[in-house]
Every structure is written in C-alpha cells, then in structure tokens.
C-alpha cells in the first residue's frame, strides 16, 4: 500500500480526538483539557468556543444546530456554537453513571445512538480495558423524550458509531475485537445483530458516515501481536503488563490509516499516510471528497483529498 502525505492543521491543545464539519464548513474538535475548538474551513483561524469540564471525544451535529459532545467524563452534552453554553443531556443509564461515553450518531428523527466503552475503566485508563478485554462496552440510544435504552451489551471496547444512509442499521466499532458490529433497526432483521466488518487490519476507533454514503473507519493502530497474546493469557499477566514502566507497556504503533466500507461491508477505500507529523488517527470524517482526521494524542487535525 502506498504511503501518502497529509495536510496538518495545528490546534492549541493536545488530543484532538474527533473531528466534525459543521454546515458552514467550520471544523470542530475537542482536546484533552476539555476545550471545544472551531476552525475556519481553511484552518487559518482557531477559536476556543467553550470548555466542557471533562474530556470531549466524539462530536456530532444535532438537528437544532448545536454540537453534540460525547464527553468521556461527563456524558452526552450539547454545546451552543454561538454562546458556548453547555447542556448536560445524559450522564447515567438505569440510574448508574456512565464510565466512558465515547462516540455517537444522530438519526433524522433526533434519536442519539452512542457508546459507553467500559463499565470498569475510564478514558484515562483505556489501555486497561483493551488488554483485560472486559467486554463491558454498550451501544445505547437516547430517545427524543430523554429516555435511554440499551441496544447491545458485551462489546469489546465499544467505540465509534455510524448510521447507514437509509438508517436501516447502526454500526458500532469494537476496538478490542477489531470488528464493526451491525445492529439492524428496520426490516426483517430489525433487532438482530451481525457484522459489517471482521478481522480488521488494526484497532478501529471512531467511525462516521460520509457524504459519499460510505462508513469511514479510523484504524488507530495496526494489530499488535503482543496485545493479542496478552488478551488470551492469565488475568494476572495482563494486569501485570500495565504496571510496567510506560516505555515497556504495549502502545499504539506510529501509523495513520483509514478505510471506508459500503453498506455490505466491502472495502471501497484503504488509505495510509506518513506518520512523521501526525499519527494515531482516532477520528475520521469525509465531506464532499475531503477527509478530515482527528488524533487522541496530537495537537492537530489533518486532512487529505480523495
């Protein structure tokens, strides 16, 4: 696979994990200090709109023009892009606080499909859930009356969420299992689950449906044989590995890769890029042929043209 170059746009904060393109072409992202930034379409002006008080991850556009923020620490938030006002939409499920609100997709009727990655670990301990393979991730839906329903449980680090173009299914990335699970919403298969993709070439993070109708998947890191072996070993060994010095622990490889799938799971695009200035792509968003990337670790977003 040929390695290409990215255009990198710096932001004044580390860990621009996801990226969203607003209706006027503005680029939105959130960083580890809780900031929500708005960039001009050309990336020349960066403005801090607000802070969430937590750790913003996935971003989506709500029907009323507000920005939906999956804040790993606080839950589902709605940000007014004009005033910066932050409203808490959902922080608990069945009376229990979420541990790790991660990513979302918003349906045409206003329902919000979103993930809670782990019942045991927060975003600040994400490696623990991956190595221990707790399989406590969930796919949830917030209905327009504010009630929350659990759609899927037992997911191995539930992560990115995307809806099919016709909203016949919702897809959710299982980072630890290297799959994209499909939960059918309409038709004869409604209520059942299968896979949109299995045995991915690495660990999927955020996913999104592009204006091209494809489901784009950010591959945060290629498959790590050490992590795969640890996950099948005794729990004492898995936990012990995470007590090693940081330099000796398993860590994402320095790569950038995204793929795009059609509604049948066929790979339409598979793109890899130089990782000298930007790596660990965790967010991906295609809009009119331009693909934007976010990163859990970089003080930047990046883009390329199809």
Instruction: Give the number of domains in the chain.
Output: 1
Spatial distance between the Cα atoms of 92 and 255, rounded to a whole number of angstroms: 35
Q: What is the mean pLDDT of residues 264-277?
A: 96
User: What CATH number does the domain containing 189 carry?
Assistant: 2.120.10.30
Spatial distance between the Cα atoms of 306 and 301, rounded to a whole number of angstroms: 17
The domain of 184 spans 3-305
Query: In the structure, what pLDDT confidence band is assigned to residue 281 with cuts at 50, 70 and 90?
Result: very high
For residues 222 and 201, is the Cβ–Cβ distance under 8 A?
Answer: yes
In this prediction, residue 250 carries a pLDDT of 64
- Any residues with CB less than 8 A from the CB of 65 and at least 6 apart, and which? 23, 81
Secondary structure of 95-142 as H, E, C letters: CEECCCEEEEEECCCCCEEEEECCCCCCHHHHHHHHHHCCCCEEEEEE
List, for residues 15-57, the tens digit of each pLDDT value: 999 999 998 899 999 999 999 999 998 877 889 999 999 999 9
In this prediction, residue 84 carries a pLDDT of 96
In order, the DSSP letters of 165-216 are TTSSEEEEEETTTTEEEEEE-SSTTTT-EEEEE-S-SEEEEEEEE-TTS-EE
Spatial distance between the Cα atoms of 53 and 214, rounded to a whole number of angstroms: 33
Dihedral Cα 94, 100, 102, 105, nearest 10 deg: 0
Residues constituting the chain: 306
Mean pLDDT score of the chain: 93
Tell me which residue of 134, 125, 76, 78 sits closest to 101, measured CA to CA. 76
List, for residues 202-225, the tens digit of each pLDDT value: 999 999 999 999 999 999 999 988
pLDDT over 60 (residue 101): yes
Query: In the structure, what pLDDT confidence band is assigned to residue 131 with cuts at 50, 70 and 90?
Result: confident
For residues 78 and 67, is the Cβ–Cβ distance under 8 A?
Answer: yes
List, for residues 178-201, the tens digit of each pLDDT value: 999 999 999 999 999 999 999 999
In this prediction, residue 244 carries a pLDDT of 59
Spatial distance between the Cα atoms of 249 and 50, rounded to a whole number of angstroms: 34
Instruction: Using the structure block, give the residue that is written with the tokens 């009323």.
Output: 64
Number of C-beta neighbours around residue 110 at 10 A: 13
- Any residues with CB less than 8 A from the CB of 278 and at least 6 apart, and which? 6, 8, 256, 293, 295, 298, 300, 302
List, for residues 90-99, the tens digit of each pLDDT value: 999 999 999 9
In this prediction, residue 172 carries a pLDDT of 98
pLDDT over 90 (residue 305): yes
Task: Quote the tokens at residue 202.
Answer: 């690495």
Query: In the structure, what pLDDT confidence band is assigned to residue 243 with cuts at 50, 70 and 90?
Result: low
In this prediction, residue 38 carries a pLDDT of 96
Spatial distance between the Cα atoms of 78 and 286, rounded to a whole number of angstroms: 22
Give the global pTM. 0.94
């Amino acid at each position: 696979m040929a390695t290409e170059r990215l255009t990198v746009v710096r932001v004044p904060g580390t860990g621009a994990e996801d990226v969203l393109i607003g209706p006027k072409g503005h680029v939105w992202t959130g960083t580890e200090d809780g900031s929500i930034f708005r960039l001009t379409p050309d990336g020349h002006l960066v403005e801090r709109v607000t802070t969430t008080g937590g750790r913003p991850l996935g971003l989506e556009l709500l029907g009323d023009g507000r920005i939906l923020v999956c804040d790993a620490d606080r839950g589902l938030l709605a940000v007014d892009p004009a005033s910066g006002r932050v409203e808490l939409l959902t922080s608990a499920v069945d009376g229990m606080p979420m541990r790790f609100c991660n990513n979302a997709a918003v349906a045409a009727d206003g329902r919000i499909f979103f993930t809670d990655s782990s019942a045991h670990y927060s975003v600040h301990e994400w490696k623990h859930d991956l190595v221990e393979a707790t399989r406590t991730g969930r796919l949830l839906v917030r209905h327009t009356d504010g009630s929350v329903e659990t759609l899927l449980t037992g997911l191995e680090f539930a992560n990115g969420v995307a809806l099919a173009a016709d909203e016949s299914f919702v897809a959710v990335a299982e980072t630890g299992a290297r799959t994209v699970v499909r939960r059918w919403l309409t038709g004869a298969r409604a209520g059942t689950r299968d896979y949109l993709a299995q045995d991915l070439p690495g660990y999927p993070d955020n996913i999104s449906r592009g204006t091209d109708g494809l489901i784009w998947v950010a591959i945060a890191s290629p498959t790590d044989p050490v992590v795969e072996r640890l996950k099948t070993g005794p729990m004492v060994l898995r936990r012990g590995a995470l007590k090693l010095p940081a330099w000796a622990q398993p860590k994402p490889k320095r790569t950038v890769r995204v793929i795009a799938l059609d509604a049948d799971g066929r790979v339409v695009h598979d793109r890899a890029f130089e990782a000298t200035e930007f790596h660990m792509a965790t967010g991906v968003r295609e809009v009119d042929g331009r693909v934007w990337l976010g990163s859990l670790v970089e003080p930047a977003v990046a883009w390329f043209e199809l």
